[in-house]
Amino acid sequence: MDFDYEGLGIRVESSTESHLAWLEEVLCPQFERVEVTHPRCRIILTTSATKRRALAERTANGPLIDLFVMDDFVVSGRRSPSTKPLIVNEEKTETIVSIDGSDIEIVAEPECPSIRMMLMRVVRELATNHLLARGALLLHAAAFVLDENGVLILGPSGSGKTTLLLAALGQGATYVANDRVFVRGDTAVRGVPTIVSLRAGTAAYFPRFAARLASSGFKHRRTIAECAPPRFPARDKARLLTPRQLTRLLEVNSAATTRLAALMFPSINPAARGMRIEPLSAEMAADRSSTMPFAPHALKKAAEVLSLEHRSHKPNVAEQCRCLTSVVPAFEVVMGEGAHQEVSLFRRFVER
Bridge pairing between strands 103-108 and 86-90: unpaired
pLDDT tens-place string over residues 103-128: 999 999 999 999 999 999 999 999 99
Distance in angstroms (rounded) separating the CA atoms of residues 285 and 281: 6
pLDDT tens-place string over residues 312-339: 567 788 899 999 999 999 999 988 877 7
Band of pLDDT at residue 346, cut at 50, 70 and 90: low
For residues 175 and 302, the model is more confident at 175
Q: Is the dihedral of CA 310, 316, 321, 326 positive or negative?
A: negative
Query: Is the pTM for the entire model greater than 0.85?
Result: yes
| Geometric angle at alpha carbon 204, from 349 and 142, rounded to 5° | 40
- Reduced to 3 states, what is the DSSP secondary structure of residue 177? strand
CATH 3.40.50 in the chain, residue ranges: 137-350
For residues 233 and 67, the model is more confident at 67
- Reduced to 3 states, what is the DSSP secondary structure of residue 231? coil
Q: What is the pLDDT of residue 121?
A: 93
Residue 223 pLDDT greater than 80, yes or no: yes
Whole-number average pLDDT of the chain: 88
Q: What is the pLDDT of residue 344?
A: 67
Residue 261 pLDDT greater than 90, yes or no: yes
Fold of 137-350: Rossmann fold (3.40.50)
Q: CB neighbours (10 Å) of residue 228?
A: 11
Q: How far is CA 210 from the centre of its chain?
A: 22
Distance in angstroms (rounded) separating the CA atoms of residues 349 and 279: 9
Which residues, 6 or more positions from 348, have their beta carbon under 8 angstroms from its beta carbon?
none
What is the DSSP-derived secondary structure letter of residue 73? S
Q: What is the pLDDT of residue 191?
A: 97
Which residues, 6 or more positions from 43, have their beta carbon under 8 angstroms from its beta carbon?
10, 11, 12, 13, 104, 105, 106, 119, 122, 123
pLDDT tens-place string over residues 33-90: 999 999 999 999 999 999 999 999 999 888 988 888 777 677 888 999 887 889 999 9
Helix (H) or strand (E) holding 163: helix 161-170
Intra-chain end-to-end CA distance of the chain, in Å? 43
Please say whether the beta carbons of 336 and 274 come within 8 A: yes
Percent of the chain with pLDDT over 90: 58
Distance in angstroms (rounded) separating the CA atoms of residues 161 and 54: 43
Summarize the confidence of residues 125-135 as an average pLDDT: 90
Minimal CA–CA distance to 306: which of 31, 151, 74, 148? 74
Residue 347 pLDDT greater than 80, yes or no: no
- Reduced to 3 states, what is the DSSP secondary structure of residue 106? strand
